[in-house]
Structure 1
């Protein structure tokens, strides 16, 4: 007796069950990834914005003294972060050129931001141009327009210097003249620098002035008060000798 184990004529076998896939947009892992990427982008944008929270303002490329004209070639742009807008308004934005015909009303150091309070109109500033005649050996050879210098003054007729005409000084002078001479010598000995941190506004080439005077000519910018004091000092000395020391 045999038994048929097949199912060739019976009820067909049921199909295999398949798991229904969840749509990708409903996957919480997708949304978590989107949130992570979005948060990273926002955080990065904020960091970049904070790192670039600066403005560009004009600064001096070199040291300049009072009376120096503000020239484009003397300015460099620097990026600075200000605490508030009011502080930023005190300086010149590098997005715009500095107005023409401005001069410094005080000394400004190299790299210092150009403050609006440090400049004024050239026609309103009480600045005089004082010419100096200096022995070429008493002035650095690279002094030029824009250099900042100290001007030292001594009396060439002092005992430490060779007298111009030995044996004649004071022969015919009265007591008042002797007193003036002593005061002048004391001023010459104590003077120095007679002018500090002044700017050279003109420096003709040595060859242009030597043939006429035998000296190097410099023109410095000095305010009215110091210019008057300087002229009084020179007038009090018998033989004023000027020496130039260069700052920049």
Structure 2
């Protein structure tokens, strides 16, 4: 079936000077694996072959084990510069345990979110200890900004057991260390997830 679709695309491309390339079906953030379900064929006319070479032609599958190295938007053509090998991606996977009422229900793998952190033991937005006040993450902004959710188990997989929803976000080493420092300085850390549209 796929072979006949590709063959038809080639014939049509020859007739109208357009070619088919892969494009993203939805918005995805850095660190997100590129999967077949994330891609759709888009017909485009390029000025020259050099420009075409910057993208993944749809007459061939995208290589396995690629991850995004930057955020991409819905409908954006998949540029070779936007991906890297999974082994080369220098990120840590940081698990978060979140009250289901503090995370939008449609947050899923690939969502781009801000992670806000407050101390349930004190006034909202006020760190409870001097260590927290001196942390690199500020109380008046997100503890992690524009991070990608790389795993988001269904409510049934986590909520029924722990009463919380687990999310896993991709964070570089430096920001992960800052986040852990802030988290450890709070008496009763409360995590809230804000989803970017």
Q: Deviations over 1:137-190 (max 9, x none)?
A: 1011222223332212222233348xxxxxxx9xxxxxxxx6325436x95522
- CA radius of gyration, larger in: 1
SS of residue matched to 1:123: helix
SS of residue matched to 1:190: coil
Question: What is the CA distance between 1:102 and its match in structure 2?
Answer: 0.4
Unmatched segments (≥5 aa) in structure 2: 1-11
Counterpart of 1:123? 87
TM-score by length of 2: 0.81
Query: Per residue, is there more strand in 1 or in 2?
Result: 2
Counterpart of 2:186? 237
C-alpha root-mean-square deviation of aligned residues, in Å? 2.6
1:197 aligns with 2:146: yes
1:53 aligns with 2:22: no
Counterpart of 1:3? none
Unmatched segments (≥5 aa) in structure 1: 1-47, 162-168, 170-177
Q: Distance in 1 between matches of 2:138 and 2:151?
A: 26
Counterpart of 1:149? 113
Q: Distance in 2 between matches of 1:66 and 1:221?
A: 8
Question: What is the CA distance between 1:121 and its match in structure 2?
Answer: 0.7
Map 1:160-171; keep pairs closer than 5 Å.
Answer: 160=124
Is contact 1:150–1:245 with CA below 8 Å preserved after alignment?
yes
Counterpart of 2:8? none
Question: What is the CA distance between 1:129 and its match in structure 2?
Answer: 1.1
Q: Deviations over 1:104-124 (max 9, x none)?
A: 111111111111111111112
TM-score by length of 1: 0.66
Is contact 2:133–2:139 with CA below 8 Å preserved after alignment?
no
SS of residue matched to 1:189: coil
Counterpart of 2:6? none
Q: Distance in 1 between matches of 2:138 and 2:156?
A: 29
